[in-house]
Structure formats: structure tokens, C-alpha cells
């Protein structure tokens, strides 16, 4: 076990590991019960944008979930082991999510709901918090110390 891993990095790594488990479940469902997968994806996305993109992939959805298991699994391991590339991956993905959410707020203007607006603001807040955290000197230093210990 590494000494000196910041608690927030451990939390991010565990969240990534949960994402891997979720993608693995979705991968299994894509083979075992495509209709259950379709129902599940539709039920968890009220706007139907996400499921329609995924469900229009046909059998390629299994490949997508398999790739996500591998990529997110590597990032989870990288965060746990304080690999700086995983920190940068998280920074880039979070920045993209932040940008997409801000753009999404504009599309919410014509179809505004209080809950939808609140969820978008929470997402923006979480993105900003994660970006800020990953650039703090202590967190940056933990990844750099790990990198220079080779």
C-alpha cells in the first residue's frame, strides 16, 4: 500500500472501480439479456439521449462496454497507484464534462425544469471541485513524488 495517497484520490479511485463494476454488469447484460439492458438504460435516463445513442450501436454496444471496462479499470488502478497519467486523464475527462454541461445549460433554456437546472448546477460544481482538487499542490505533489520514486 502506498503511504501518502490523499483521501480524495482514494475516493476517486474507488468511484472509478465502482464504474468498472457497473460497466461489467452492463457488458454482461448486453450478452445475457439485451431487452433488460434496453429497459435499464431507458429507465435511468429521463431525456432518452444517452440510451438512444447506446442502443443504436446494435451489437457494438458490447464492444463499447468492454472497452470502458478496460479503460476505466486502468484509470482506477492508475489513480490508486498515483500514476500521473491517470490524474491527467481525469482532468481532461472532467474538463470535457464541464464544457458539455455548460453547453447543455443553453439547451435547457427552452425546456427548463427546476430539477434539471439544479442537477446541471450540481454537475458543474462537482466538475469544478474535482478540477480544483487535482491541481492542489498536495495532490499534484503526491503524484509527482510517486513518479519520481522510480
Rounded to the nearest integer, the mean pLDDT of the chain is: 89
pLDDT per position as a tens digit, 73-102: 999 999 999 999 999 999 999 999 999 988
Q: How far apart are CA 3 and CA 33, in angstroms?
A: 43
Q: Which residue has the higher pLDDT, 119 or 136?
A: 136
Q: How far apart are CA 133 and CA 140, in angstroms?
A: 9
4-11: long-range contacts, CB 8 A cutoff, minimum separation 24:
4/142, 4/145, 5/80, 5/82, 5/142, 6/138, 6/139, 6/142, 8/133, 8/139, 9/79, 9/82, 9/139, 9/142, 10/80
The proportion of the chain whose per-residue pLDDT surpasses 90, expressed as a percent, equals 64
pTM (2 d.p.)? 0.85
Q: Which residue has the higher pLDDT, 84 or 104?
A: 84
Q: What is the mean predicted confidence (pLDDT) over 10-32?
A: 97
Whether residue 144 contacts residue 84, with contact meaning beta carbons closer than 8 Å, is answered with yes
Whether residue 130 contacts residue 94, with contact meaning beta carbons closer than 8 Å, is answered with yes
Q: Which residue has the higher pLDDT, 18 or 58?
A: 18
pLDDT per position as a tens digit, 33-43: 999 998 888 88
Neighbours of 33 (CB within 10 A): 12
Q: Cα 103–47–25 angle (5° rounding)? A: 105
Neighbours of 121 (CB within 10 A): 12
pLDDT of residue 1: 42
- The residues spanned by each domain of the chain are 1-81, 82-150
pLDDT of residue 11: 98
Residue 2 pLDDT class (50, 70, 90 cuts): very low
Amino acid at each position: 500500500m502506498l503511504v501518502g495517497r490523499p483521501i480524495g484520490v482514494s475516493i476517486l479511485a474507488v468511484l472509478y472501480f465502482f464504474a468498472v463494476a457497473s460497466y461489467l454488469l452492463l457488458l454482461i447484460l448486453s450478452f445475457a439479456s439485451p431487452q433488460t439492458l434496453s429497459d435499464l438504460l431507458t429507465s435511468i435516463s429521463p431525456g432518452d439521449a444517452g440510451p438512444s445513442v447506446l442502443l443504436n450501436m446494435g451489437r457494438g454496444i458490447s464492444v463499447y462496454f468492454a472497452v470502458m471496462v478496460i479503460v476505466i479499470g486502468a484509470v482506477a488502478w492508475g489513480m490508486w497507484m498515483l500514476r500521473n497519467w491517470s490524474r491527467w486523464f481525469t482532468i481532461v475527462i472532467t474538463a470535457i464534462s464541464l464544457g458539455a454541461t455548460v453547453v447543455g445549460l443553453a439547451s435547457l433554456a427552452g425546456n427548463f425544469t427546476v430539477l434539471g437546472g439544479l442537477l446541471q448546477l450540481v454537475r458543474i460544481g462537482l466538475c469544478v471541485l474535482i478540477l480544483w482538487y487535482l491541481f492542489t499542490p498536495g495532490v499534484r505533489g503526491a503524484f509527482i513524488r510517486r513518479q519520481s520514486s522510480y
